[in-house]
Amino acid sequence: MSEPVLDVRDLRRSFEQGGVRIDVLRGVSLAVAPGEIVALLGPSGSGKSTLLQAVGLLEGGFEGVIRIAGTEASRLDDGGRTRLRRDALGFVYQFHHLLPDFSAVENVVLPQLIHGADRPAANARAADLLTTLGLGNRLTHRPSQLSGGEQQRVAVARALANRPALVLADEPTGNLDEATADVVLAEFLRLVRGQGAAALVATHNERLAAKMDRLVRLHEGVLA
Ligand SMILES: Nc1ncnc2c1ncn2[C@@H]1O[C@H](COP(=O)(O)OP(=O)(O)OP(=O)(O)O)[C@@H](O)[C@H]1O
């Protein structure tokens, strides 16, 4: 197997709340190959979001090793982690977190400009991604002028804008009705596959998870 795009070893995370300690992740290990799409299943409160936050280099307080695209994140300082996140990762959340005052196309352009793309190339790529997702006639709409499914498509385009090696998605269709969730997920998978990206997708939905390449389950703090 080629080198994993994500290699997690013995990841541990505990929270202390009101004098009570909860060991949420108790030694999670997971390798994701380039281009592989992995569904992360587990009941509510099992730690799916906690795991994605760790892998997304968004939170400290973890023990263990996280290697992304060959780089061990714990050896980096804050600036290094920010660069690794920007260069290698894309994110899709349950609620889209789009910038409300910017149009659909600008929401997809901005991360590219931050990444160093020039404006014409960023515009072209944003328009191309959104058109692929069926939003060619919604480019200048703001998020509030889009349906929930459309907003989530913009979030998908934004996550893929910088061609990340790994997309992290936390209940990416959890906020949509069943039919819309199916369509948006199918489009998400098609785009991720088309780009050769890998993905780790947290979901409660077994039916959607079955469309991915592999399923892993968080149970009592470890992956089964
Ligand atoms: N900042 C925090 N402080 C204290 N406890 C926390 C914190 N964040 C998460 N937890 C606890 O960690 C556990 C796992 O939470 P997490 O959000 O990762 O679960 P999840 O599997 O994503 O759940 P869901 O499917 O409901 O989104 C929960 O019991 C939660 O209460």
pLDDT, position 60: 83
| High-pLDDT (> 90) share of the chain, % | 81
User: What sections of the chain are H helices per DSSP?
Assistant: 48-55, 78-88, 104-114, 119-132, 148-160, 178-195, 206-209
- By most ligand atoms within 8 Å of CB, the mutation choice from 11, 46, 204 for ligand 1 is 46
Decide the pairing of beta strands 63-68 and 6-17: antiparallel
d(C-alpha 62, C-alpha 83), whole Å: 19
Q: pTM value?
A: 0.94
ipTM at complex level? 0.95
- By most ligand atoms within 8 Å of CB, the mutation choice from 20, 48, 218 for ligand 1 is 48
The pLDDT tens digits of the residues spanning 91-111 come to 998 877 899 999 999 999 999
- Determine if ligand 1 sits within 6 Å of the CB of residue 46: yes
Q: Domains in the chain, start-ordered, CATH in brackets?
A: 35-61+90-217 (3.40.50.300)
Amino acid identity at 207: R
pLDDT, position 1: 56
